[in-house]
Chain A
Amino acid sequence: MSSLQSLDIKRRSATTLPSTQARETLEVAKLIDVSKCIGCKACQVACSEWNDIRGDIGTNVGVYDNPADLGPKTWTVMRYSEVEEKKGEEMAFEWLIRKDGCMHCAEPGCLKACPSPGAILQYSNGIVDFIEENCIGCGYCVAGCPFNVPRISKQDSKAYKCTLCSDRVAVGLEPACVKTCPTGAITFGSKEDMIDHAAERVVDLKERGYANAGLYNPAGVGGTHVMYVLKHADKPEIYHGLPKDPQISATVGLWKGVMKPLAMLAMGLTALTGFFHYVKVGPNDAEAHPDEPEDGNGPHVIRSSGPGQMEGKGNVNPGEQA
């Protein structure tokens, strides 16, 4: 998807020079207040409706998650986790419901990993978007993402994920899920406003006994443009494995970082060294040696129409010069 024009592109996959920097747009964010979510899945339906995609009908795996996972045609999924957590002094049963999907990282691992120029864009408003027409289907974005979000379609070998409704946002609308949410659990606005709004919610939750309530805006990926208000921000993992300190993995950092220039240097220098070796030392040509007597027993070694015929006589072995 892309409905923003090139002036709004801040970063582009597999592109070594900077993208347009002149225009700075307002950084946006979606705030998902998990404590207000009732798990009705209206947002899932809105996403499917607006983007006009329907995940394939799967099988019931015994939980409310439906479909069971994100997919090329399912860009957001409600995740349900049953936990017992401390509330005040006692343990209380809780049903934690998290709307899963792309986090729109400020430092997106998917974009870092992608080998195809322009298949992944980051707009200056913070949205990370896959441009399927440039996607080659390698799946590197899957390896790069710290949140296990991108999905490659079996039908067309293209990568898909939440666009944060970049098309709607480009024309001043909020994402479809935000518009639909009946409890106001999802809000959308400038990142700054969303952080302020979250701070109020956190104060409220703390007053209600959730001492560890907090905002999930992980610094390891430079912050995200989808943020959560969590009642248990100290333990994000209990929300269906939300990573505590997500980062672009060190392996991906090596693979896409130092290793590439080092490898390019090694290959380039090797080729150049070969060329200059030839320029300096020249060929090693056994046929260019003057005919020598063959220790008395080399009768059939006669200089003749072998390949040596074409040989220039100018090649003197430096070993002989010495």
Chain B
Amino acid sequence: MKPLIQRYSDSDRINHWIVAIAFVLAGLSGLAMFHPAFFSLTGLFGGGAWTRTLHPYIGIVMFTAFVSMAKRFWKHNVMVPVDYEWLKLLPDVLTNREDRLPKIGKYNAGQKLLFWMLVVALPTLFVTGLIFWRAWFAEYFPIPVIRLAALLHAVAAATLITGILVHIYAAIWIKWTVGAMIRGSVTHKWAKAHHPLWYREVTGQPATPPGQE
């Protein structure tokens, strides 16, 4: 059997999926209150009052788990010059012409930008969410601040959800990526094709992306 390359440790994966599950629940419960078209989602949480009650706690779980995940992944997501070149070749990225792209490390520029979007969005959601949380803290803030918090919370949530939709799609589109986050490992081919510099780093072997031989 071909040896696999470890990409995520057990705790990395558990951490990621806590964030992901909390995101789905926070997103669905938040959307229920976001627009009447989604109000029926309150049924998933036991009705409107339950949705309103649970949502902030789920959000706090997501935020806390994200802080831990961000610490793990931070250094791998720092933008480097090659990332900007990669971004310029986005049309090739989108048409699966990976052979034309510069060699990149553990994450590509798209993944990194998503990471930094999360780094901005989650603290925003956390702080604004606390401010307009009627059950606990809203009474301590003047009404204009509450209004602003509600607006920013909704904008941050919409940005986050849109970004995560791209993230989820990318994981489906780039085959075997979901497996990497579920079982933690990837094949040599996968690593060489999508993250050649990272491949070289972890295996010590040169990686010429397939198609360039």
Chain A residues proximal to chain B, CB less than 8 Å = 14-16, 115-117, 134-140, 142-143, 148, 152, 157, 249, 251-252, 254-255, 259-260, 263-264, 266-267, 270-271, 274, 277-278, 281-289, 292-293, 295, 297-298, 300-308, 317-320, 322
Residues of chain B within 8 A of A267, CB atoms compared = 158, 161-162, 165
Q: Which A-chain residue is minimally distant from B190 (CB atoms)?
A: A286
How many angstroms from the CA of A277 to the CA of B166 in the assembled complex? Answer: 11
Interface size of B by CB at 8 A reads 65
Q: A314 to chain B: closest CB distance in Å? A: 13
Residues of chain B within 8 A of A252, CB atoms compared = 147, 150-151
Chain B residues proximal to chain A, CB less than 8 Å = 1-4, 32-37, 39, 42, 47-49, 51-53, 92, 94-100, 132, 134-135, 138, 143-144, 146-148, 150-151, 154-155, 158, 161-162, 165-166, 168-169, 172-176, 179, 187-190, 192-194, 205-206, 208, 210-211, 213
How many angstroms from the CA of A134 to the CA of B38 in the assembled complex? Answer: 16
How many angstroms from the CA of A105 to the CA of B176 in the assembled complex? Answer: 57
Residue pair A319, B99 in contact (C-beta under 8 Å):
yes
Residue pair A281, B210 in contact (C-beta under 8 Å):
no
Residue pair B187, A306 in contact (C-beta under 8 Å):
yes
Interchain residue pairs A-B with the least CB separation, the first 4: A139-B134, A274-B169, A263-B158, A286-B193
Known: A264-B37, A284-B96. 6 other contacts (CB 8 A): A139-B138, A284-B194, A289-B210, A289-B211, A307-B179, A317-B211
How many angstroms from the CA of A218 to the CA of B126 in the assembled complex? Answer: 37
How many angstroms from the CA of A138 to the CA of B138 in the assembled complex? Answer: 10
Q: Which of B92, B165, B211 contacts A270 (CB 8 A)?
A: B165
Residues of chain B within 8 A of A148, CB atoms compared = 143
How many angstroms from the CA of A140 to the CA of B190 in the assembled complex? Answer: 48
Residue pair B96, A266 in contact (C-beta under 8 Å):
no
Q: A247 to chain B: closest CB distance in Å? A: 12
Q: A136-B48, A136-B49, A137-B49 are in contact. Are A255 and B147 (CB under 8 A)?
A: yes
11 A-B pairs, CB-CB below 8 angstroms? Answer: A143-B143, A251-B147, A259-B151, A260-B34, A267-B161, A283-B174, A286-B187, A286-B194, A306-B1, A317-B97, A319-B96
Residue pair A143, B189 in contact (C-beta under 8 Å):
no
How many angstroms from the CA of A262 to the CA of B34 in the assembled complex? Answer: 12
How many angstroms from the CA of A178 to the CA of B189 in the assembled complex? Answer: 82
Residues of chain A within 8 A of B165, CB atoms compared = 267, 270-271, 274
How many angstroms from the CA of A142 to the CA of B131 in the assembled complex? Answer: 13
Q: A249 to chain B: closest CB distance in Å? A: 6
Residue pair B169, A277 in contact (C-beta under 8 Å):
yes
Residues of chain B within 8 A of A289, CB atoms compared = 189, 193, 210-211
Q: B101 to chain A: closest CB distance in Å? A: 10
Residues of chain B within 8 A of A142, CB atoms compared = 134, 138, 143, 146
Residue pair A305, B1 in contact (C-beta under 8 Å):
yes
Residue pair B2, A264 in contact (C-beta under 8 Å):
no
How many angstroms from the CA of A289 to the CA of B154 in the assembled complex? Answer: 43
